[in-house]
């Protein structure tokens, strides 16, 4: 069974945006370590609590995440329309 993770990089009170993105990075490394197939980064527009609310930020995050990857984990962006089509 191929398992994936969808991370939304949610901003919470008392946590910096840098820390939120760093947490996304850590989660992707754990996903790879535990054999997950794909790591999705959500793509939202004009959302006040989600870091990287529109492109190119999610794509930039993916390039950063993939540079730490050994190559076994696949990285993708996801928006609502791609979710309902899958």
Chain segment 6-47, per-residue pLDDT in tens: 888 888 888 888 888 888 888 988 999 999 998 888 776 667
The burial class, CB within 10 Å (0-12 / 13-18 / 19+), for 57 is middle
Per-residue pLDDT for 86 more than 50? Answer: no
Please give the pLDDT value at position 52.
Answer: 61
Please give the pLDDT value at position 83.
Answer: 46
Please give the pLDDT value at position 85.
Answer: 42
What mean pLDDT comes out for the span 54-59?
A: 59
How big, in percent rounded to 5, are the helix, strand and coil portions of the chain? Answer: 40, 20, 40
CB 69 within 8 A of CB 76: no
CA dihedral 43, 73, 24, 41 (to 10 degrees): 10
Percentage of residues of the chain with pLDDT beyond 70: 63
Residues 6+ apart with CB under 8 A from 30: none
């Amino acid at each position: 069974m191929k398992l994936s993770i969808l991370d939304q990089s949610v901003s919470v009170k008392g946590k910096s945006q840098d820390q939120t993105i760093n947490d996304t990075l850590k989660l992707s490394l754990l996903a790879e370590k535990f054999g997950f197939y794909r790591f999705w980064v959500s793509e939202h527009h004009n959302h006040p609590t989600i870091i990287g609310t529109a492109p190119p930020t999610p794509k930039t995050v993916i390039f950063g995440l993939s540079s730490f990857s050994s190559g076994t984990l696949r990285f993708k962006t996801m928006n609502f329309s791609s979710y309902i089509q899958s």
